[in-house]
Amino acid sequence: MDVIVPERGTVTLDADAPEAALQGAVVKRTLTRLADFAELGLVEEAQLSRMLSAARDATSDALASLTPPVRFIPGTRRPDLRRFTGFTSRLADLSPGDTQLVWNTLRAVEPTRLERLTLTDVLAVNLHRVIGAFRFQDVTVKAGGQLTVKPSTKLLWAKDIVIEAGGRIVVQGASLAIRAHSVRGL
Q: Do 9 and 61 share a domain, yes or no?
A: no
Q: Do 59 and 77 share a domain, yes or no?
A: yes
Length of the chain: 186
Rounded-to-5 percentages of helix, strand, coil across the chain:
30, 30, 40
Does residue 101 lie within any of the structural domains?
yes
Q: Do 134 and 114 share a domain, yes or no?
A: no
Task: Answer with the one of 121, 150, 175 that is the final residue of a domain.
Answer: 121
Total of domains in the chain: 2
**For position 40, what pLDDT does the model report?**
86
Range of the domain at 94: 42-121
Task: Answer with the one of 121, 147, 173 that is the final residue of a domain.
Answer: 121
Q: Do 57 and 110 share a domain, yes or no?
A: yes
Does residue 159 lie within any of the structural domains?
yes
Task: Answer with the one of 121, 145, 173 that is the final residue of a domain.
Answer: 121
CB 102 within 8 A of CB 129: no
Does residue 110 lie within any of the structural domains?
yes
**For position 14, what pLDDT does the model report?**
97
Does residue 73 lie within any of the structural domains?
yes
Q: Do 146 and 179 share a domain, yes or no?
A: yes
In which element (H, E) is residue 8 found? none
Question: What's the CA gap between 179 and 157, in Å, rounded?
Answer: 5
Q: Do 54 and 115 share a domain, yes or no?
A: yes
**For position 96, what pLDDT does the model report?**
87
Phi, psi of 86 (to 5 degrees): -65, -35
Q: Do 47 and 82 share a domain, yes or no?
A: yes
**For position 95, what pLDDT does the model report?**
87
- Alpha carbon separation from 5 to 42, 141, 144, 179 (Å, rounded): 24, 5, 9, 19
- Per-position pLDDT tens, the chain of length 186: 899 999 999 999 999 999 999 999 999 999 999 999 999 888 899 999 999 999 999 999 988 887 777 778 777 777 778 889 999 999 999 988 889 889 988 988 888 889 999 999 998 877 888 889 999 999 999 999 999 999 999 999 999 999 999 999 999 988 888 989 999 987
In 42-176, beta strands by DSSP E:
129-135, 138-141, 146-149, 153-163, 168-171
| CA proximity to 104, closest of 121, 122, 88 | 88
